[in-house]
Structure 1
């Protein structure tokens, strides 16, 4: 299977196994866009990329004989960069939605998530008062949590919240600690990661979403890598490597069966599914 390989300018990409920003990309490497401030899925520690999605992508690449380089981009620019072919795939905790399906193709889903309402550890707010009646609520701009809050709460004058957009959830939680936010709404695994790392926050409620998450490629899969991603996902899952990666970064998480729920509207899931059905 041939694909068009994209050379990268030296210094513009990051080594998959090395220090961030210190190694130029190999000419035959796939460029994987990440948001490196989204624990436990992708983040930087001691100059290296770490996280569930990072280690899983490295394992998939090794399993399928691919080379991959990670490129850190702000969340709002990741999907447009992939849709325009500036990166080859998107590797992070990406929720599958109908809107995103218009411009991206998804791998088989490897995770499902709900959303959690976080408040400061010493806050008296509950799940109702944190999301109404003059509360200021933060979420990541462009994320499904922000969209849900905007559509269901901020647009309703009777609810009365002020919604603030953040580039990443780390900054949002820091702002809440400084008293500039009453609550932050984020995914379950990210909320649990903040608590596991002793951030002074607590969960006061869950918004049931059952959002499937997956890797993504450019619409139409011009590089013909979707089948390899699907096959690699299944191989690391069936070998137990996926469970080891998840437990390393999120020991409190339950390992879900892969694939998780496949939404009917995702055309890349039509039979036969590359790398999965065959």
Structure 2
């Protein structure tokens, strides 16, 4: 197994990435009320960012150890504005909130806003891009629309906003069962093998994967309207923080996002990954 080092010198392995282990091993402590996390970050010189592995949003290049993707590029730009380095910590979705609560990470790079998450985490006021979710089936499958989901089995990623969309599809269209996965890869393998009839996935990831693989064996049944998440716009990706001691950190991120958008760097980031549809930056479906 090939070993890699982060730029700060901590050992990681390809196997660690696969199971969602952190890229860096540092002691972490929960942030207490009355403290200033931004001041702590500037003093230490680096920002611990909770992330996951879903190209083109975010992934680790196994060959170089470099953090790549939309979230990576935005967060590196934010770090430059604040004046600190950025260290990613790769986790499965269900582990992100506990890691934030424990102080293992300082911020999560890109989550949709849900009522349940807002109970335990703080959101910035500035989304940095918008997602489009899709309902997928196999290319040869006969499901043509969401009404065709009656008595079908669908998959989703546990702890993601797509889980909420899957539950709404079940309520509206009589889905027989929702199977939940810790990451997208096993879900897609089950879909390909016929163990699922359909899956709720990130549309931008499908667009990117289909562009890389002309013979991709999946098709989009429907791009999911924002109403499935109770919104009038497409789901926005926000940076997410602990509720304690993060007021100045949130403001620093919000100000950095404004600066990045003002100079057009947000469009440049999205274009690097072939996502030139204005919806990704406007949220209009």
Same fold per TM (> 0.5)? Answer: yes
TM-score by length of 1: 0.77
Q: Please state how far the C-alpha of 1:50 moved relative to its aligned partner.
A: 1.0
Instruction: Show the counterpart of 1:81.
Output: 99
| Unpaired runs of at least 5, structure 2 | 14-22, 27-40, 227-233
Q: Aligned partners of 2:114, 2:10: CA distance in 1, in Å? A: 33
Q: Aligned partners of 2:70, 2:198: CA distance in 1, in Å? A: 26
Q: Aligned partners of 1:125, 1:245: CA distance in 2, in Å? A: 35
Instruction: Show the counterpart of 1:164.
Output: 179
Matches within 5 A, 1:246-265: 246-254=270-278, 256-257=280-281
**Structure 1 stretch 24-33 or stretch 195-204: which is displaced more?**
24-33
| Unpaired runs of at least 5, structure 1 | 1-10, 262-278
Runs (4+) off by over 6 Å = 16-19, 22-26
Residue number among 199, 203, 223 corresponding to 2:220 in the alignment? 203
Paired residue secondary structure (2:235):
strand
Deviation string, structure 1 residues 181-211 (Cα, Å, up to 9, x no partner): 1111123212322322323211111221121
Paired residue secondary structure (1:40):
coil
Q: Aligned partners of 1:83, 1:96: CA distance in 2, in Å? A: 17
Instruction: Show the counterpart of 2:129.
Output: 111
Task: Work out whether residues 191 and 198 of structure 2, in 8 Å CA contact, stay in contact via their aligned partners in 1.
Answer: yes
- Report the CA distance shift for 1:160/1:211 in structure 2 as closer, same or farther (over 3 A): closer
Residue number among 114, 123, 128 corresponding to 2:141 in the alignment? 123
Q: Aligned partners of 2:144, 2:46: CA distance in 1, in Å? A: 48
Task: Work out whether residues 47 and 79 of structure 2, in 8 Å CA contact, stay in contact via their aligned partners in 1.
Answer: no
Deviation string, structure 1 residues 58-107 (Cα, Å, up to 9, x no partner): 11111221222111111100022113322100013x10112211211212
Q: Aligned partners of 1:194, 1:140: CA distance in 2, in Å? A: 17
Instruction: Show the counterpart of 1:39.
Output: 55
Q: Please state how far the C-alpha of 1:178 moved relative to its aligned partner.
A: 1.6
Q: Give the helix-richer structure, 1 or 2.
A: 2
Instruction: Show the counterpart of 2:155.
Output: 138
Count of paired positions:
244
Deviation string, structure 1 residues 195-242 (Cα, Å, up to 9, x no partner): 223232111112211212211111144373111111111111111222
Q: Aligned partners of 1:218, 1:251: CA distance in 2, in Å? A: 30
Task: Work out whether residues 130 and 183 of structure 1, in 8 Å CA contact, stay in contact via their aligned partners in 2.
Answer: no
Q: Aligned partners of 1:164, 1:142: CA distance in 2, in Å? A: 12
